[in-house]
Chain A
Amino acid sequence: MTRILAIEDDETTAREIMDELGNHGFEVEWAGNGQEGLDRALSGQYDLITLDRMLPFVDGLTIVTAMREQNIDTPVLMISALSDVDERVDGLRAGGDDYLVKPFASEEMAARVEVLLRRQNRTERQTKLRVADLELDLVTRQVRRAERDLDLLPTEFRLLEYLMRNSGQTLTRNMLFESVWGYHFDPGTNIIDVHIGRLRRKVDIPSLSPLIHTVRGVGYMLSEPV
């Protein structure tokens, strides 16, 4: 069973994190202040930690720094009211693995947790990604679906690579934007959907069963046809 520690001083937010991650089948424990959070985090018994940036007694940055100093590499999702790029950089530099800004949607938080856990389990360096009859070669940069070559633009290639690396995971629009384009703001409009639409037209041609699925109200997922 995957164990997650939520370090969060606001009880309602903490309860929501616990409920949402519980629904995803995780066992979630709650630490209500920085000191308690630090002690438990340093025990190294968790698969992932969600960490509020601003906490009473010991703040989030101190906790993640202390963990990394003791070589505890548990993935950390930092949750903060500070959305500034500099704050994000500080958080990630201190050892955070991802950064989520309040107010956030529970699905977004859960999706990020899933991806972080998956990343943790992935060890070998792959040169080829494969989902059903879709194949992506990271070295030759060739993409094939049902034995036919697909002609993808560089952006579409990166988008597909990210979807395939996290196949079976729900990926939010923000996660796609951050990972594929490397920026951290609300791009607004429906531009991510348009990019996905374009990729879909090339990957999911009408005669084949679709691999790219829309997760309503959350984002997208690439997975084997059911």
Chain B
Amino acid sequence: MLLGFIYWQTATEMTRRVDLILTLEETRFNQVSPDTLSDEIDKSVQRDHRHVYFYGLFSSDGRLIAGNIPRLPPGMPVDGHIHGTTLSATNLASQSMPARALAIRQGSGSILLIGHDVQQFTEFGEVMRSAFFWGGSLTILLGLVFGLLLSFGPLRRVEQIQQVCELIMHGNMKQRLPVSGRHDELDMLAVIVNKVLDEVDRLMSEVKSVGDNIAHDLRTPLTRLRALLYRMQQQLGDSPHHAMMGQVIAEVDSLLLRFRALLRISEIENKQRRAGFKLIQLPEILAQAVNFLEPLAENKSIKLSMVAESVDPINGDGELLFEVFVNVLDNAIKFTPEGGRVKVHLSSGPKGAQVDIVDSGAGIRENEKSAVLNRFYRGENDLQAPGFGLGLSIVMAIIRLHDFGFRLEDADPGTRATIYCWPQGV
């Protein structure tokens, strides 16, 4: 821009000066008498040691009378105004040069042409243009290089922040955003977010420990309650209250079942070490689970089928994974109407083994997907089906312990549950 402006300014100024010189020359020749005009022109040509002037006096039929221009340039208007053109001079190498020139008709009918070489401007323009091109290119190139270098730093940090946030979203609440120590905007933001995370983590563990303590403290009283009720029932003998007490005990048993499930979730979630992990054969465990639930499917005339590709052994807790498969399969069978089908497919992908369990039931509504994984949640479609809604929460706890992935999606029709048996990086 700047170079362009300088070039434009300079060119304009130089052209103005040349034009002024040409006007002065015209005035000078006007004051010379027509008889001595050709002599004066010849003198002027001789005086011009720098060979920048063009003079020419032509007869009305275009023949050169005096000067250094062999002929009138074609298309040159004879109007006394200055125009840009190309001229060649006899006393110079015969090449044409860019020039400013004016042509004017004399009283005798002859034509006087005065011109000035502007080759220098053109050269200057060339220099400016090339400076403009190289300077501009270099500026853009350097700008790009430095811009990229400068933006890589923050971009890398944003990427780091993104990765950490994903870990946190997956439940790894101990992760914190990286702080570079440069005290810039990103650092300020990271520090604030980290403070918020500290507080959330503190509140969460407080709630969790309160919950765990309550659960733990309830074990003994619940055992006592169950025992006392049972004892009372034993002593009632044939009394009419015996049956009613049986109902009360059944209710307490169902309470205990849920309670134990809650305790199990908390136990699995608290289980940090994976000492119980060993190499396990997925097809074997999956076949066991299918075999275990097959009669349940048969009772509902549901076709339960399994296809298992060969997969590498995986590191995990076989007992817990069996529980996962039983839970997911049990759910699939539960939510599939009589005469439907449930397909189990173990496949081997580039990252590892994956288990798909697809049923022909009612499916899961989009807005229920994440809710079904929460403790106690039961879908609206299955209010009649038995179950405590805790099954999938246990599944999620076990999946998280293994760092596996779990996904529920609508299979249209039915539901597809997928268990990804490879580390998800959480």
Residues of A within 8 A of B (CB): 10, 12-13, 16, 19-20, 23, 81, 83-86, 89, 101-107, 155, 181, 183-191, 194-195, 197-198, 216-217
Interface residue B259 (Cβ < 8 Å from any Cβ of A): yes
B222 contacts across to A, CB distance below 8 A: 103
Q: How far is the CA of A106 from the CA of B226 in the complex (A)?
A: 8
Q: How far is the CA of A103 from the CA of B256 in the complex (A)?
A: 7
- Separation in Å of the A18 CB from the closest CB of chain B? 11
Whether B319 lies near A195 (C-beta < 8 A) is no
Chain B interface mostly: helix
Whether A104 lies near B263 (C-beta < 8 A) is no
Residues of B within 8 A of A (CB): 216, 219-220, 222-224, 226-228, 230-231, 234, 246, 249-250, 253, 256-257, 259-261, 263-264, 267, 271, 275-276, 288, 291-293, 295-296, 298-299, 317, 319-320, 322-323, 326-327, 330, 334, 386-388, 391
Whether B317 lies near A81 (C-beta < 8 A) is no
Report which of A102, A181, A216, A217 forms a contact with B292, defined as CB distance below 8 A: A181
Whether A198 lies near B224 (C-beta < 8 A) is no
* Closest residue of A by beta carbon distance from B273: A86
Whether A191 lies near B386 (C-beta < 8 A) is no
* Closest residue of B by beta carbon distance from A185: B323
CB-defined A-B contacts under 8 Å, sample of 12: A12-B228, A13-B220, A84-B271, A86-B275, A105-B226, A107-B230, A181-B292, A186-B260, A188-B387, A189-B334, A195-B295, A217-B246
Other A-B pairs beyond A106-B227, A183-B323, 11, CB < 8 Å = A13-B227, A20-B227, A81-B216, A84-B267, A85-B276, A103-B219, A155-B291, A181-B292, A191-B292, A191-B293, A217-B249
Enumerate the 5 nearest inter-chain pairs by beta-carbon distance, A residue then B residue, closest first: A16-B227, A103-B223, A103-B222, A12-B224, A194-B295
- Separation in Å of the A160 CB from the closest CB of chain B? 14
Q: How far is the CA of A185 from the CA of B42 in the complex (A)?
A: 121
- Separation in Å of the A103 CB from the closest CB of chain B? 4
B323 contacts across to A, CB distance below 8 A: 183, 185
Whether A189 lies near B228 (C-beta < 8 A) is no
Whether A189 lies near B250 (C-beta < 8 A) is no
A189 contacts across to B, CB distance below 8 A: 296, 330, 334, 386-387
A84 contacts across to B, CB distance below 8 A: 267, 271
- Separation in Å of the A132 CB from the closest CB of chain B? 25
B226 contacts across to A, CB distance below 8 A: 103-106
- Pick from A83, A183, A190 the residue with the most CB of B within 10 Å: A183
Whether A102 lies near B227 (C-beta < 8 A) is no
- Pick from B228, B292, B320 the residue with the most CB of A within 10 Å: B292
Report which of A102, A106, A195 forms a contact with B220, defined as CB distance below 8 A: A102
Q: How far is the CA of A194 from the CA of B334 in the complex (A)?
A: 14
- Separation in Å of the B317 CB from the closest CB of chain A? 7
- Separation in Å of the B293 CB from the closest CB of chain A? 7
Whether A86 lies near B295 (C-beta < 8 A) is no
Q: How far is the CA of A145 from the CA of B260 in the complex (A)?
A: 40
Whether B230 lies near A83 (C-beta < 8 A) is no
B253 contacts across to A, CB distance below 8 A: 105
B224 contacts across to A, CB distance below 8 A: 10, 12-13, 16
Q: How far is the CA of A12 from the CA of B319 in the complex (A)?
A: 33
Whether B223 lies near A188 (C-beta < 8 A) is no
- Separation in Å of the A189 CB from the closest CB of chain B? 6
B231 contacts across to A, CB distance below 8 A: 16, 19-20, 106
- Separation in Å of the B389 CB from the closest CB of chain A? 11
A216 contacts across to B, CB distance below 8 A: 246
Assuming the A-B contacts A10-B220, A83-B260, are A188 and B388 also in contact, with contact meaning beta carbons closer than 8 angstroms in the complex? yes
* Closest residue of B by beta carbon distance from A199: B295
B234 contacts across to A, CB distance below 8 A: 23
Report which of A19, A23, A101, A183 forms a contact with B322, defined as CB distance below 8 A: A183
Whether A106 lies near B230 (C-beta < 8 A) is yes
Report which of A16, A107, A183 forms a contact with B319, defined as CB distance below 8 A: A183
* Closest residue of A by beta carbon distance from B253: A105
Report which of A19, A23, A194 forms a contact with B299, defined as CB distance below 8 A: A194
* Closest residue of A by beta carbon distance from B385: A189
* Closest residue of A by beta carbon distance from B223: A103
Whether B219 lies near A102 (C-beta < 8 A) is yes
- Separation in Å of the B232 CB from the closest CB of chain A? 11
* Closest residue of B by beta carbon distance from A153: B291
Q: How far is the CA of A16 from the CA of B234 in the complex (A)?
A: 12
* Closest residue of A by beta carbon distance from B235: A19
- Separation in Å of the B132 CB from the closest CB of chain A? 77
Whether A104 lies near B223 (C-beta < 8 A) is yes
Whether B326 lies near A187 (C-beta < 8 A) is yes
Q: How far is the CA of A191 from the CA of B334 in the complex (A)?
A: 11
Whether A105 lies near B291 (C-beta < 8 A) is no
- Separation in Å of the A5 CB from the closest CB of chain B? 19
- Separation in Å of the A92 CB from the closest CB of chain B? 13
Whether A198 lies near B295 (C-beta < 8 A) is yes
B250 contacts across to A, CB distance below 8 A: 217
Assuming the A-B contacts A12-B224, A86-B276, A107-B230, are A181 and B256 also in contact, with contact meaning beta carbons closer than 8 angstroms in the complex? no
